[in-house]
């Protein structure tokens, strides 16, 4: 880790003093904190000019790389025309067309600004459409930080299904009572909960790739069948997987079409925009002309469909629609995974790499985890230590969590990354200890 300049240290101290050390929840240990000055392609640069190969990608949005010239140009052109209007704009309408063309379940789209709002509204829409109060989610599934989503997403222990463990203080007990939790990849338990509570459940929401845990063969298909059987809507949270696992997201990759799906991150090319997409008859419960006439799921927001973000999204989707894009994303990820496996083997470390294509996670464990309790049993301190070591070696990432691969990562990045990984792995100490 290079020494920090006085200015860099001052900024880090100010951040600690003024904003708890981070703009949100992602916070590195003080000695590894980095203040970013800019990004370009697969790299980010700190305020001292040090370069890092970036596997955080802004927590996912920068799928085609930082400051892509086509995105920058689109945003500059729109910025010169004005940045927000709270009404219809051409970029927002054109982006909706693009989303409906690409997404199997999408006939209609509503915009919001963040993924947290998108899942919040998808659940509100489902409750309005079905007239039922409860939501069924999966242990370890992350759907943002609204009160309904922050249930058994990151609990320190296994959930006693179906009763959730709140992930935050300050969530009203009434909300907790309306969220049920099942185990990822467990069809039997999920059916049992649907059998017991189906008449009260509005929707089953899942990440079709849950963090980095792939769905077991047939699991998503069985969710589709079971939700139909029990009159419950199926919501895919595609905020990570959308346009990343394939142009048509997880729905295309896994061949299962939900009723509703939520989008964010990549669809706005690094600007704040997210969306709920899905069947028209369901999304129609948000039509404002229903007020006073029929049940209305109110959906609004000052920045919804923001034209700067929509322009960035359109430019990003233009790039993603080009030939060979997904082959490149997958092959870069495969090279990295193969290299990491052989580095671990030489170092005598047992690892499993979970994930799908350009999103993966390294677990220190002998068996590939299939669900959250299995993730809890992996050597997570070791995973975090490996990640922290990678930062010391010149990578930028969320230590112990997912790697995000962009279209900008190239062979040289892979080579440098594997060299860094070799050094980082060699410094993973036995027995594992938390940093």
Ligand X SMILES: Cc1ncc(COP(=O)(O)O)c(C=O)c1O
Compose the 52-71 pattern: x for residues touching ligand X by CB under 6 A, - for all others: -------x------------
Judged by CB under 6 A, does residue 240 bind ligand X? yes
Q: Among residues 149 and 227, whose Cβ is nearest to ligand X?
A: 149
CB of 262 to ligand X, least distance (A): 7
Judged by CB under 6 A, does residue 404 bind ligand X? no
Rounded distance, CA 20 to CA 3, Å?
23
CB of 57 to ligand X, least distance (A): 11
CB of 359 to ligand X, least distance (A): 10
CB of 55 to ligand X, least distance (A): 15
CB of 404 to ligand X, least distance (A): 11
Q: Among residues 117 and 191, whose Cβ is nearest to ligand X?
A: 117
Residue number of the CB atom closest to ligand X: 115
CB of 145 to ligand X, least distance (A): 6
Q: Among residues 61 and 65, whose Cβ is nearest to ligand X?
A: 61
Sign of the CA dihedral running 415, 416, 422, 425 = negative
- Select the span of 136-144, 291-299, 313-321, 333-341 touching ligand X (CB under 6 A): 136-144
Asked whether 137 and 149 are in contact (CB, 8 A), the reply is yes
Judged by CB under 6 A, the chain residues 200 through 239 that form the site for ligand X are 207, 237, 239
Q: Among residues 36 and 418, whose Cβ is nearest to ligand X?
A: 36
Judged by CB under 6 A, does residue 398 bind ligand X? no
Rounded distance, CA 417 to CA 395, Å?
7
Q: Comparing C-alpha atoms, which of 286, 288, 282, 289 is closest to residue 297?
A: 286
Which residue in the set 39, 91, 140, 144 belongs to the binding site for ligand X (CB under 6 A)?
Answer: 144
Rounded distance, CA 223 to CA 229, Å?
10
Judged by CB under 6 A, does residue 270 bind ligand X? no
Compose the 80-119 pattern: x for residues touching ligand X by CB under 6 A, - for all others: ----------------------------------xxx--x
CB of 74 to ligand X, least distance (A): 21
Q: CA 64, 65, 67 angle in degrees (round to 5)?
A: 115
- Select the span of 38-46, 142-150, 278-286, 324-332 touching ligand X (CB under 6 A): 142-150
Contacts with ligand X by CB under 6 A: the residue count is 14
Tokens of 205: 């929401």
- Select the span of 62-70, 137-145, 312-320, 371-379 touching ligand X (CB under 6 A): 137-145
CB of 28 to ligand X, least distance (A): 17
Give me the count of residues in the chain: 435
CB of 181 to ligand X, least distance (A): 16
Judged by CB under 6 A, does residue 311 bind ligand X? no
Rounded distance, CA 236 to CA 205, Å?
6
Judged by CB under 6 A, does residue 355 bind ligand X? no
CB of 144 to ligand X, least distance (A): 3
Give me the residues paired with residue 275 across strands.
111, 263
Rounded distance, CA 97 to CA 78, Å?
19
Sign of the CA dihedral running 52, 55, 58, 61 = positive
> Within 10 Å of residue 197's Cβ, how many Cβ atoms?
16
Q: Among residues 274 and 375, whose Cβ is nearest to ligand X?
A: 274
Which residue in the set 39, 164, 264, 357 belongs to the binding site for ligand X (CB under 6 A)?
Answer: 264
Judged by CB under 6 A, does residue 143 bind ligand X? yes
Judged by CB under 6 A, does residue 313 bind ligand X? no
Judged by CB under 6 A, does residue 142 bind ligand X? yes
Interacting residues toward ligand X by CB under 6 A: 59, 114-116, 119, 142-144, 207, 237, 239-240, 264, 274
């Amino acid at each position: 880790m290079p020494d920090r300049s006085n200015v860099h240290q001052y900024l880090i101290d100010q951040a600690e003093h003024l904003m708890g050390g981070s703009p949100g929840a992602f916070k590195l240990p003080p000695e590894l904190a980095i203040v970013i000055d800019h990004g370009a392609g697969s790299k980010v640069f700190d305020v001292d000019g040090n370069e890092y190969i970036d596997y955080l990608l802004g927590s996912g949005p920068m799928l085609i790389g930082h400051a892509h010239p086509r995105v920058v140009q689109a945003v500059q052109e729109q910025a010169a025309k004005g940045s927000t209007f709270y009404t219809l704009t051409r970029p927002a309408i054109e982006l909706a067309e693009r989303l409906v063309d690409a997404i199997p379940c999408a006939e209609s789209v509503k915009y919001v600004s963040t993924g947290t709002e998108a899942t919040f509204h998808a659940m509100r829409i489902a409750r309005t459409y079905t007239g039922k109060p409860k939501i069924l989610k999966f242990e370890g599934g992350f759907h943002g930080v609204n009160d309904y989503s922050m249930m058994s997403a990151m609990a320190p222990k296994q959930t006693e299904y179906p009763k959730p463990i709140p992930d935050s203080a300050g969530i009203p007990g009434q909300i907790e009572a309306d969220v049920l939790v099942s185990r990822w990849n467990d069809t039997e338990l999920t059916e049992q909960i649907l059998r017991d509570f189906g008449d009260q459940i509005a929707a089953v929401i899942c990440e079709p790739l849950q963090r980095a845990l792939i769905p077991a063969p047939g699991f998503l298909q069985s969710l589709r069948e079971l939700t139909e059987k029990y009159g419950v809507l199926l919501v895919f949270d595609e905020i990570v997987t959308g346009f990343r696992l394939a142009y048509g997201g997880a729905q295309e990759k896994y061949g299962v079409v939900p009723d509703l799906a939520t989008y964010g991150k990549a669809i706005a090319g690094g600007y704040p925009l997210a969306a709920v997409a899905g069947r028209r008859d369901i999304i129609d419960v948000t039509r404002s002309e229903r007020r006073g006439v029929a049940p209305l799921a109110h959906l609004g927001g000052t920045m919804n469909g923001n034209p700067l973000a929509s322009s960035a999204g359109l430019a990003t989707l233009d790039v993603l629609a080009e030939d060979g894009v997904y082959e490149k994303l997958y092959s870069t990820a495969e090279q990295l995974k193969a290299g990491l496996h052989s580095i671990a083997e030489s170092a005598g470390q047992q690892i499993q790499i979970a994930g799908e294509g350009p999103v993966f996670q390294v677990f220190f464990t002998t068996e590939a985890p299939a669900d959250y309790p299995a993730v809890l049993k992996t050597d997570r301190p070791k995973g975090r230590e490996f990640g922290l070591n990678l930062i010391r070696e010149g990578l930028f990432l969320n230590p112990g969590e997912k790697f995000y691969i962009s279209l900008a990562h190239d062979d040289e990045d892979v080579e440098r990354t594997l060299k860094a990984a070799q050094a980082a792995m060699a410094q993973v100490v036995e027995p594992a200890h938390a940093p």
